[in-house]
Amino acid sequence: MFPKTSPSFFDGPWTFEKTEHAILGLCKILDRYAHKLTLEDLQNDPRCARIPDLSLDTVQQVIADVEAKLWRGAKPFEHEVIYHTGPHHDDIMLGIMPFINRQLRSPNNQVHFAIMTSGYHSVTDAFLREALQDTLDYLHQGRIQMVRYPDFFEQGYRFKQEKDIHHYLDNVARRNPDEMRRGFCHRILRDAVGLWSLKSVVDVEARFTTEIENLKAGKPNSPEVQKLKGEVREFEEELVWAYAGTALDHIHHLRLGLYDQGSLSPELVEGSKGPVHDDDINTILNQLRTIKPTVISVAIDSEGQGPNTHYKVMQSIAEAVRLWGKEADLKDLRIIGYRNVWSTFHPAEANVYVPVSLNAFAVFEKAFKDSYLTQVKAEFPNPDFDGPFSELAEQIWVKNYKDVQFILGKDFFYENAHPLIRATHGLIFLKEMNVKGFVALAESMKSIMERNK
């Protein structure tokens, strides 16, 4: 069975996407590369037989189109202002990190990251309890010296977040998990001082002891604890992009109202305000006006394909872009749709294939495990996979690569003159659109959702 997003082969006008879909499907059924298909193979397949003016030239057209998608994904970005958006912390990384890392290598690009929601539901009580206890332990050992500065509890706690990140990543390089943990606890302490307006080490000890006991007892999280959990996720996101030198002022934690701070159930709160809410749209719109991106990435998931927040964030971004288009010329703005561990593009749906090398796999896997401490064992895992989300993403990229090999052949990759193509062992599928196409896609998905209610 094809994914929900696949075209209907027997309804509506025929498109080239259907042609690509049908020919790849036949290659997989016959376990045969595209260039080895015969006209008889095509004519005997019920889907391929519907292709207008069917001939072996049709196969060559598909091969050429797939190759063009690959070269499009291999092309470097230069002189772009790129605004990567993610519904939750880790969504951007799991979808397109190898794609982004190449953008970050050029000083001519401005690369921003906007994470739309708090993500506090992904932090367990046990994780936070251990973090608070470790912070207390370091404090009692005299290993958190910043509390000794005379202005720390007045305003000093607000500064040097970049230093916490640098300390942590320095010790990733040194393979020193104790110092990594100390760097993480520095950030926990800064955030806690701001949340509870703590004024002394005595205040810290009292508050942390109370919260540790509450977490042990399983009491409902207060709004402050929920916010602290969200700030844990924010630190994780900052670590990931700091691997390539991204500054904090290019990482934006929007904390949109899609999460209801008073609820404990993500199934109930995600999207509780509906798919589009004015406050959320205005927050995104104002950031678009300020940053003025030339490229925007968006997670493209239909409702029910993943967490509901994915769909609702996409609708909010689409509405913000539509409104921005009323006051700015967006004819050159590119929207890049991505998916990650919750749903995937069929090769025919995507129009950009990003090569992923073993080097990119290694960077991705290490960055995930070193940075997303709360997600190495996810609180809300994918129902079809029991393990770190990074491994599931890699499996998807490998499968994408194997599918494209049916069309281009294995030798296309290992004999290629371009070193990036020769090094390819995975592919990320993207759907690039202009503003009109993106807004139309969002409207179409909304109409389908409303019809299915």
Domain residue limits at 32: 16-70
Residue with tokens 């990003």: 354
Q: Does residue 10 sit within a domain? A: no
Number of domains in the chain: 3
DSSP state of 325: T
Tokens of 67: 């190759």
Q: Are residues 185 and 279 in the same domain?
A: no
Query: DSSP assignment of 258-317, as one string?
Result: TS-TT-S-HHHHTTTT-S--HHHHHHHHHHHHHH--SEEEEE---BTTB-HHHHHHHHHH
Per the confidence metrics, is the pTM higher than 0.75? yes
Domain presence at residue 102: yes
Question: Does 233 fall in a domain?
Answer: no
3-state secondary structure of 123: coil
Same domain, 261 and 391: yes
Same domain? For 405 and 355 the reply is yes
pLDDT of residue 283: 96
pLDDT of residue 279: 87
User: What is the 3-state composition of the chain as percent helix, strand, coil, each rounded to the nearest 5?
Assistant: 55, 10, 35
3-state secondary structure of 351: coil
Q: Do strands 81-86 and 352-357 pair parallel, antiparallel, or not at all (unpaired)?
A: unpaired
| pLDDT value for 259 | 52
Q: 267 lies in a domain?
A: yes
Is there a domain that residue 160 lies in?
Answer: yes
269: confidence class by pLDDT, cuts 50, 70, 90: very low
The model's pLDDT over 38-91, given as tens digits with 9 standing for 90+, comes to 999 999 999 999 999 999 999 999 999 999 999 999 999 999 999 999 999 999
In this structure, are 113 and 191 located in the same domain? no
183/205 same-domain check: yes
Is the domain of 301 the same as that of 409? Answer: yes
Beta-strand runs (E) in 300-422: 334-338, 352-357
| pLDDT over threshold 60, residue 380 | no
What's the rounded mean pLDDT across residues 87-113?
96
